[in-house]
Chains A and B, each alone.
Chain A
Amino acid sequence: KQEVTQIPAALSVPEGENLVLNCSFTDSAIYNLQWFRQDPGKGLTSLLLIQSSQREQTSGRLNASLDKSSGRSTLYIAASQPGDSATYLCAVRPRNYGQNFVFGPGTRLSVLP
């Protein structure tokens, strides 16, 4: 069964730093991987979607990479801002488990002014 983990569980950085969030999954047979942001008490906002055939996707200060063979994805945030403070979740769409999406537990990011 597909399992997704995220490291670190929490991260606190000063404003302006570049940072990397990690996501690992146990089965490389996936359709895609999606990164989300969740603000406290709010829903999930989609950040980036990487198809299994892609290596990376970029949106503004965000860059997500995918190494399917090693079961890893990273989310790179450049020049972090206090407004980036949120929980970041990754989710994979497995090929072998029906239509279920599998989420990681999230990384809680705090960017200090």
Chain B
Amino acid sequence: EAQVTQNPRYLITVTGKKLTVTCSQNMNHEYMSWYRQDPGLGLRQIYYSMNVEVTDKGDVPEGYKVSRKEKRNFPLILESPSPNQTSLYFCASSLGGASYEQYFGPGTRLTVT
């Protein structure tokens, strides 16, 4: 089944403890991205990647890191999480350039205390 998977789905952690949220797609998509969704602010893009080893900042990149060493994986890294990073995170992928449809993962609900 073609899909985008994220792990973990739920995570509660403490301020400053490094964490990684994994994202994987099995559709051979070139483009992958991370979003966060907050009440009243909607979905905002954190980082995106056009292909392996190519990443770029979205609208809200501060406090996050990403890497794209393989085409299928695009992990989101929070080196020192803070409470304002408590949010619902989504990974998405699309086949390639600007014309293609986006497919979303199921989301990861992160709480930082």
Chain A residues near B (Cβ < 8 Å): 31-32, 34, 36, 41-46, 49, 51, 89, 91, 93, 95, 98-101, 103-106
Query: With a CB–CB cut-off of 8 A, which chain A residues contact B106?
Result: 42-43
Shortest Cβ distance from residue B99 to the other chain A in the assembled complex, whole angstroms: 6
Q: Which of A45, A95, A103 contacts B43 (CB 8 A)?
A: A103
List residues of chain B with CB within 8 A of the CB of A31. Answer: 98-99
Contact in complex: B105, A43 (CB < 8 Å): yes
Contacts known (A31-B98, A43-B104, A99-B98); A104 close to B42, Cβ less than 8 A? yes
B interface secondary structure, majority:
strand
Residues of B within 8 A of A32 (CB): 98-99
Residues in B neighbouring A104, C-beta threshold 8 A: 42
Name, among A31, A34, A51, A99, the residue most crowded by chain B CB atoms within 10 Å (CB to CB).
Answer: A99
A49 contacts across to B, CB distance below 8 A: 101
Tell me the nearest residue of chain A to B108, going by C-beta: A43
Complex CA gap A42/B90 in Å reads: 10
Instruction: Mark each residue of chain B from 84 to 98: 1 if its CB lies under 8 Å from any CB of chain A, else 0.
Output: 000000101000001
From A30, which residue of chain B is reached at the shortest CB distance?
Answer: B98
**Bound CA–CA A106/B42 (angstroms):** 8
Closest 8 CB pairs of A and B: A31-B98, A103-B43, A44-B104, A43-B106, A49-B101, A43-B104, A105-B42, A43-B107
User: How far is B33's CA from A99's CA once the two chains are assembled, in angstroms?
Assistant: 10
Q: Is B70 an interface residue (CB 8 A)?
A: no
User: B104 to chain A: which residues have CB within 8 Å?
Assistant: 36, 43-46
Measured CA separation A34–B43 after assembly (Å): 14
Q: Known: A43-B105, A43-B106, A105-B42. Contact between A99 and B99, CB under 8 A?
A: no
Cβ contact of A46, chosen from B45, B50, B102, B105, cutoff 8 A: B102
How long is the Cα–Cα vector from A48 to B42 in the complex, in angstroms? 19
Q: What are 25 A-to-B residue pairs whose CB atoms are below 8 Å? A: A31-B98, A32-B98, A32-B99, A34-B101, A34-B102, A42-B107, A43-B90, A43-B104, A43-B106, A43-B107, A45-B104, A46-B102, A46-B104, A49-B101, A91-B102, A95-B98, A99-B48, A99-B50, A99-B98, A100-B45, A101-B45, A101-B102, A103-B42, A103-B44, A104-B42
